[in-house]
Amino acid sequence: MLDPMILLALLAAPVMAEGLEVGLGLRDSMSDAGPDGPRVVARMPLAAGVSVEANLFYRPWGEEKDVSGLDQTLVYIAHGSSGEGYEFRQPVSADVWEAVVLADWDFGGRSFTADVHGGPHLCAGLGARGQRRGFAIYDDEAAGEVPVAYVPDESSVLPTGVLGIGMDLWFGGVAGVRLGFLHRLSVQGDPQYSSDEPSEGSSVVNDRTWTLDVLVRL
């Protein structure tokens, strides 16, 4: 049976809500390949500085942007220093999509009447993401200055926990800009650097991500 307090909170949420906020933004996992891609955001402020947020990210770029400059350098160095017959493979991965639901707290400092206002906030939530995986390998026939090619591997869907901090700036309570720094935690298989040395273990991976969103209050 549903707890009476939970039921009361669900019934009271529409009354407590201050107005839906929607927006568009960008996500960047801090690689040298540029932003990961666009995302859409919807937020519902409730009471005492608490908001509920849902966001959806999609990566429109193809596999050619999965391999960063650092990946290429590691493959090039490993090829020159490894012995004959050893094929070094640099694991690379990229999120193709992600859906997240967050609880957000702005320390109770939100104003809907001030001309310009803002402040820090904390957030935590759960989500899922579709991850594309592959390897960067040395290839004499690869295009570009560094002879490194991308070889696709299996894709997967990962449950994800999200923790984050951020800062927002609102203008007249109507439009705002939000900058966030997120830790996205998931259990992933340990990296495998050679086809001759399979890895069957797994560990918790922390993918750090910047987000920048522009929001409008409806």
Residue 16 domain boundaries: 4-217
Query: What is the tally of structural domains in the chain?
Result: 1
Contact 163, 205 (CB under 8 A): no
User: Does the pLDDT value for residue 76 go beyond 70?
Assistant: yes
User: Does the pLDDT value for residue 161 go beyond 80?
Assistant: yes
Residue 211: give its domain's CATH number.
2.40.160.20
pLDDT tens figures, 132-146: 988 888 887 766 667
Pairing mode, strands 21-28 and 148-152: unpaired
| Reported confidence tier of residue 148, pLDDT bands at 50, 70, 90 | confident
In the chain, what percentage of residues exceed pLDDT 70? 83
Distance CA 35, CA 38 (A): 8
**Which residues pair with residue 3 across a beta bridge?**
none
**Mean per-residue pLDDT of the chain:** 83
Query: Which H or E element spans position 76?
Result: helix 69-81
pLDDT tens figures, 101-123: 999 999 877 777 778 888 999 99
User: What was the pLDDT predicted at 82?
Assistant: 63
First to last CA, the chain: 35
| Reported confidence tier of residue 16, pLDDT bands at 50, 70, 90 | very low
Q: Return the number of other C-beta atoms located less than 10 Å from residue 210's C-beta.
A: 16
No. of helices (H) and no. of strands (E), the chain: 2, 9
Q: Which stretch of 96-110, 138-152, 164-178 has the lowest confidence by average pLDDT?
A: 138-152
Q: What is the pTM of this model?
A: 0.78
Distance CA 82, CA 86 (A): 6
User: Does the pLDDT value for residue 11 go beyond 60?
Assistant: no
Rounded average pLDDT over 21-46: 89
Contact 166, 183 (CB under 8 A): no
User: Does the pLDDT value for residue 10 go beyond 50?
Assistant: no
Contact 118, 168 (CB under 8 A): yes
